[in-house]
Structure 1
C-alpha cells in the first residue's frame, strides 16, 4: 500500500471514529457534518480526537462542555448539550439543577437563568419523545439551605473556604466577602450535597478560565491540583476539552496556570 492509500485509510478511520463518537455523545444517529473546514474539524478533531480520548470520563467532559456553551450564550449548543447530558443519563436532573446554581456563582445569574430554561425545555422534550409525561421537578426543603444561625453559617463558610482554596479565609470587611463569599458561596453552595467537590472544582476551573479572572484562575487551579481532587493528567484533559469549547487562546492561559500550579506544588 502506498503512502497516499495509507493516508486515505487513516482519514476514513478518523471520520468513522468522529461520527461514532459524536453519535454517542449527542445521542443521535443522524449527524450530517458539513464539508466546510469547521464541519470536518468538528467531526475529526472535536469528536474523533477530543471526546474520544481516555483520561477523563464522558460525564466530566460534559461538565466542561456545559459550562462553556452556557457561558458563551450559544443557544443551539446549549440546548444540544443539555439534551445529550440528560437523555444519556450521564447527568441526572437533580445534578443538572445543582450545576446551574454553581454555574450562577461563577458566571452570573442571567446566564444561569438561560441554562435552567434549557434544562426545562429539554426535560420536557426527552419525555415527550418517550411518549410519557415529564416528572415534576423536585420540591426542595428549606433545611437544605443550611443553618439559619448566621454565626454558625459564617464559621462554616470560613472552614469551607480554607478546605476548598487551601488558603486563609478573607476578612469580613465588605459585603462581597461577608454576604457573598463566606455566607453564600462557601457557607452554602460549596457544601451542598448535589455534586461532589471534585465535580464542583471542574465546573469552577472552566468558569474562572473563561471569565478572564487571573487570580481566581490561579487559586482554583492550584487548589484542585494540590488537594489531589484532580490529577495532573485529568487537568490536562480538562484544558483540552475547555480549549475545544471556549477557544485555544483562553485554553493557553488555563494551561499556563496548570503548569505553574504543578511546578509550585508542595513537596
Structure 2
C-alpha cells in the first residue's frame, strides 16, 4: 500500500528533528510522545538552534544558564553533557561559566550546577577510556592581590564593562567587597572565559530575575560595548524564550528594543 503524503511528511519531519537533536545533544533523539512534543522538538532543535546569528557554541552558554536556573535536573544534565561531549565548551570554560552564573543567579543553584559538571566530566572521560585530567591551577590569580590595587582594578573594570563613567563607592560590603573587589576586581577579568561569553551568561541571568535595573544596565552594556551585536542579542532573546519561557523573554525583548534605540542615539551623537 502506498504511504500517504502526510505520513511521508511526518517521517521526513522527524528525520530532520533526529539529525538536529543528535547534532546538538550528541545523543539519539527521543521518540516524541505526542504531536505537540514533536512540534516542540522541531521548533527548538531544527529552527532555533540552527539559526545563524549565534553559533552553536554561543548558544550553549545561554542554554546552560537557563536550565541551571530553572531547577530542571534532567535538562541540566543533558545540556552539560552535550556542551562538554560535543567539544563546544571546554571543562575550563564550563567551570568558569558556573562561577559567573553563581554571581548573577545565586550560589545555591550554582552549587548543583557545579556538582553536575564534575559528575558528567568524569562520565565523559570514562566513556572515552580516559582519566579526568587535573583541573587548571587556581594560583596565581590573574588579578592583583594587594587590596588597594584590587579595588582600583575593580573600579576601572566596572566602568569599562558597564560602559559608565563612574563606579560604586567602597563604603559598604556589597559595593566594596562584593562588586568592586570580587565581581569586577576578579571574576569578570578571569582568563577562563571571554568577554562575549560572559555577556551571554549575564544577560540570560538578569533576564530571568525580576530586577529592573540589572536587565537594563547589562543589555545596554552588552550593546554599547559592541560585545554583542543587535542581531546577536535579538537571537539571544529568542533562544532564551525557547529554554526559559516566553513571558520573561517578552520583557527582555522590550528592554533590548529600548536599549538599541538608546545606544543608536549615543553612537550617532559620538559620530558628530
Mapped partners of 2:247, 2:9: distance in 1? 29
Structure 2 stretches lacking a partner, 5+ long: none
What is the deviation of 1:173? 2.6
Contact 1:23 1:31 in 2 (8 A): no
In the alignment, is residue 121 of structure 1 matched against residue 119 of structure 2? yes
Map Cα deviations across residues 33-78 of structure 1 (whole Å, 9 max, x no partner). Answer: 22252x2133211112111111110011000000000011111111
Partner of 1:77: 75
For the residue of structure 2 that corresponds to 1:147, the secondary structure is coil
In structure 2, distance between residues paired with 1:125 and 1:28: 14
Structure 2 length normalisation: TM-score? 0.91
**Structure 1 counterpart of 2:233, from 232, 235, 242:** 235
> Match for residue 25 of structure 1?
24
In 2, Cα distance between the equivalents of 1:9 and 1:54? 28
Structure 2 contact 122–132 (Cα < 8 Å) conserved: yes
Equivalent-residue separation in structure 2 for 1:130 and 1:148 (angstroms): 39
Q: Deviations over 1:57-108 (max 9, x none)?
A: 0011000000000011111111100000001100000001110110111011
- For structure 1, which runs of at least 5 residues remain unmatched after alignment? none
Give the alignment of 1:47-196 within 5 angstroms. 47-141=45-139, 143-144=140-141, 146-167=143-164, 168-196=166-194
Contact 1:18/1:49, CA 8 A, preserved across alignment = no
Counterparts of 2:13 and 2:91, CA distance in 1: 33
Equivalenced residue count is 261
For residues 231 and 183 of structure 1, the distance between their equivalents in structure 2, rounded to whole angstroms, comes to 29
| Cα offsets for 1:145-165 (capped at 9, x unmatched) | 622211111111010000010
Mean alpha-carbon deviation: is it higher for 92-101 or for 9-18?
Answer: 9-18
Question: What is the alpha-carbon root mean square deviation over aligned residues?
Answer: 1.7
1:10 Cα shift? Answer: 6.0
Could you give the per-residue CA deviations for residues 146-203 of structure 1, whole angstroms, max 9, x where no partner exists?
A: 2221111111101000001012211223211011001100011001111111110110
**C-alpha offsets along residues 87-145 of structure 1, whole Å, 9 cap, x if unaligned?**
1100000001110110111011111111110011101111121223222323321x216
